[in-house]
Amino acid sequence: MRLQLSPELEAFREEMRTFFTTQVSREIRDTIAARRDLSKEQYVEAMRTLNAAGLAVPHWPVEWGGRGWTPLQMHIWREEMQLACVPEPLPFNASMIGPVIAAFGDQEQKERFLPRTANIDIWWCQGFSEPDAGSDLASLRTTAVRDGDDWVVNGQKTWTTLGQHADWIFCLVRTDPTAEKKQRGISLLVFPMDSAGVTLRPIQLIDGGHEVNEVFFEDVRVPAENLIGEENRGWDYAKFLLGNERVGIARIGSSKRLLAQAKAYAQEVTVGGRPLAEEPRMADRIAELENELLALELTALRVVAHSADGKPHPASSVLKLRGSELQQDITELVVDIAGPLSLSSFADGGSEVPDWARVATPEYLNYRKVSIYGGSNEVQRTIIAGTILGL
């Protein structure tokens, strides 16, 4: 049992902090700090800055740009990045399809995709969920039928995040409708978004933004060499991918940063001539969230220290569950600090309302998503009850 980081890790943390706060463009970090959406160009610039320094895909195999770091180093890397308001490498590239191709793709696919994925020369999007396949993903109905050297894809995907920026899609498709278990007849295909027969339709969200999309496939022809891994093993790859997705999904560094910002906001707003932050109920609420966040961070450190064998610690479900709840609680706190100012979401240049108060409610509404994506919190409770408690 020891509190401090080793001198080597302390130096590592300092190195990360210095890089993120000096080498990533100020404008991009200010956009994140202001909690505004990044443009496609900003995403790409940030990820390329990281990739040039070997910091975009440290968890990949070393021969494809990985760093061979320990889980604790990965944790420090991620936390420092979030604290410095650096956008994380695009998750569809860095955490999802990249590791799957590295683990299950053939050599030709690795050479073809991995360098371009790490450098975001290809912007990937995810074709998993369907209108009738949400938490029950294995009931997906998009089909791929073999025709000569091609697969012919028909069906529909939904919740495709930032699909409007994407060059390629990785897509779960049903290749064996006769399989006894529905999980056994699924394969993983990749293809360009500008393939003939692909149509993208934006979905407007309650925050007024355009973040997710529906994607329709009508007789899309995909060359056979674009099937990743083995035919009908797609479900295994999806589970592998979603396991990676859960790591880091707690976004503790981001929550710490937002809570620190909330403290500053609560000092800007006055009640009866005194800062709102000094009102006992408000101070209690902030202090309680801060303690919950500390408990979560410590649990994350326990988990990363015990997942060295590559398998996620079962308590990682706790991280997703509580991490998402705290993200939501803190965005809710910011709306409450803004009070009536929180109504001015779409005020323009002439408004007296500070920028942080304008983005508060859209962000709060948008963040309802975090307890739904990446395996809804009900799925996480099912995992905890089943896998950990044996219920």
- Nearer residue to another protein within complex by CB, 183 or 382: 382
Alpha carbons within 13 angstroms on the beta-carbon side of residue 290 total: 12
Reduced to 3 states (helix: H, G, I; strand: E, B; else coil), residue 70 is coil
Minimal distance, residue 252 CB to another protein, in Å: 11
Reduced to 3 states (helix: H, G, I; strand: E, B; else coil), residue 346 is coil
Minimal distance, residue 262 CB to another protein, in Å: 11
Tokens describing residue 150: 């091609």
- Nearer residue to another protein within complex by CB, 39 or 291: 291
Minimal distance, residue 77 CB to another protein, in Å: 14
Burial of 127 (0-12, 13-18, 19+ CB in 10 A): buried
**How far apart, in Å, are the Cα atoms of 25 and each of 15, 28, 29, 80, 83?**
17, 5, 7, 16, 15
- Nearer residue to another protein within complex by CB, 185 or 253: 253
The gap from C-alpha 182 to its chain's centroid, in whole angstroms, comes to 27
- Nearer residue to another protein within complex by CB, 102 or 321: 321
- Nearer residue to another protein within complex by CB, 25 or 267: 267
The alpha carbon dihedral of 224, 230, 231, 235 has a sign of: negative
Please give the single-letter amino acid code of residue 68.
G
Minimal distance, residue 352 CB to another protein, in Å: 25
- DSSP 8-class letter at 34: T
Minimal distance, residue 391 CB to another protein, in Å: 4
Other Cβ atoms less than 10 A from the Cβ of 79: the count is 23
Other Cβ atoms less than 10 A from the Cβ of 13: the count is 16
Other Cβ atoms less than 10 A from the Cβ of 100: the count is 22
Q: Which of 130, 245, 297, 363 is catalytic?
A: 245
CB distance 235 to 187 below 8 Å: no
Helices 316-338 and 355-366: angle between axes, nearest 10 degrees: 140
- What residue ranges bind another protein (CB under 8 A)? 1-5, 9-10, 13, 72, 83, 256-257, 259-260, 263, 267, 277-278, 280, 283-284, 286-288, 290-299, 301-302, 305-306, 315, 318, 321-322, 378, 380-382, 384-386, 388-391
Minimal distance, residue 270 CB to another protein, in Å: 14
- Nearer residue to another protein within complex by CB, 241 or 259: 259
Minimal distance, residue 365 CB to another protein, in Å: 25
- Nearer residue to another protein within complex by CB, 28 or 250: 250
**How far apart, in Å, are the Cα atoms of 40 and each of 49, 204, 220, 340?**
14, 18, 26, 32
Q: How far apart are CA 296 and CA 377, in angstroms?
A: 16
Active site residue 130: no
Task: List, by residue number, the catalytic residues.
Answer: 245
